[in-house]
Amino acid sequence: MNDTSKTAAGTAGGFQDSASRVDIRPDAPVMRILPAAARPYAELMRLDRPIGTWLLLLPGWWSIAMAAGAPGVSGPGFWTVAWYFLAFGIGAVLMRGAGCTWNDITDRDFDAQVARTATRPIASGQISVKRALLFLGAQMLTALLILLSFNGFAVLMGAGSLLLVFLYPLAKRVTHWPQAVLGLTFNWGALLGWAAVMGELALAPVLLYAAGFFWTLGYDTIYAHQDKEDDAIVGVKSSALALGERTKPFLWVFYGIALTLMTASLIALDAGWPAYLGLLVGAGHLGWQAATVDIHDPADCLAKFRSNRVFGWILLAGLAASGLLATV
């Protein structure tokens, strides 16, 4: 069955269908550059929709910036820090791609029934499950080679995230809170970044990891509201379905806890004033999301979800400025 007939079948079954609901972006720059044979694999990695990579990457970059600029600590040199940033960037692309590949393998039957996901490469038959598994292995192996460039403690920390990566797609079948599993997974970089720089853990990155968990609960609940009608029909669970009309009050709770824990992390770090200024500006951004999101408008939910990249960059700028101030 081709993509069009699959989408039509989904619509006939009562699912929402419009061009805006299909999550493949063939007009993305990366898709125009790649040869046709490579495009389904790029779609499988979500290279056409990089927001997930940013949300996976930014906690790691926060943690690197915190460790490299920690007051009273002789951190690594500029080029070493630059390598950490680059390595985490490449690793985030690969691990997000691996996670999406595994997600699409496990969800292929669900995806075929939902208009927004029916054109995904596995659900639409463009890539077989066997080829997807081989591609998954190639991504994981490449990511492992990057991880092995770090110290031994960081290697063990990185390996510790693999169970979470493979559990997330299964969580939505058994709990209304798969977003909690995603929060544990997507913020692992908050621990790994510090471990890569310092070769150990400390209170500041642990608090940052906890903060990221609640941040993810907020933004991914917003994201899940796009699919709540379809999810209810096919039997997929989410926090959006669990919270329903109570979502907006809970966003204030999730984001409030996240900001409190981030503040505690900065205190544990003994960060400089630019880090607190960045967090203050970021708090305004999260408040804007919670106050204005329309949970009944899929387009607005997607826009608010994507805007979390802005929050991430604001916080990173404050942390980087604080670290530079500490070295002056």
Show the domains of the chain with their CATH numbers.
3-327 (1.10.357.140)
pLDDT value of position 1 = 34
- Cα→Cα distances 225→52, 78, 239, Å: 16, 42, 9
Q: Which residue has the tokens 């966003």?
A: 251
Pure H helices in the chain = 3-12, 29-33, 39-44, 51-68, 78-106, 108-111, 129-147, 152-159, 162-171, 178-186, 189-198, 203-224, 228-234, 239-243, 247-269, 273-292, 298-306, 308-327
Q: Is the pLDDT of residue 144 over 90?
A: yes
pTM recorded for the entire structure: 0.89
pLDDT value of position 2 = 39
Q: What is the pLDDT of residues 74-99, one digit of tens each?
A: 778 889 999 999 999 999 999 999 99
- The stretch 45-57 carries a mean pLDDT of 94
Confidence of residue 186 (pLDDT cuts 50, 70, 90): very high
pLDDT value of position 228 = 82
- The stretch 144-169 carries a mean pLDDT of 93
Q: What is the pLDDT of residues 106-133, one digit of tens each?
A: 988 888 877 778 889 999 999 999 999 9
pLDDT value of position 227 = 77
pLDDT value of position 9 = 32
Q: What is the pLDDT of residues 157-168, one digit of tens each?
A: 999 999 998 888
Confidence of residue 22 (pLDDT cuts 50, 70, 90): low
Nearest CA to 248 out of 292, 312, 307, 300 is that of 292
pLDDT value of position 40 = 93
Mean of all residue pLDDT scores within the chain:
89
Q: What is the pLDDT of residues 191-232, one digit of tens each?
A: 999 999 999 999 999 999 999 999 999 999 999 998 787 777
Tokens of 18: 């419009």
Contact 30, 47 (CB under 8 A): yes
pLDDT value of position 24 = 65
List the single range of 69-78, 140-149, 229-238, 304-313 with lowest mean pLDDT.
229-238
Residues 6+ apart with CB under 8 A from 42: 30, 31, 34, 48
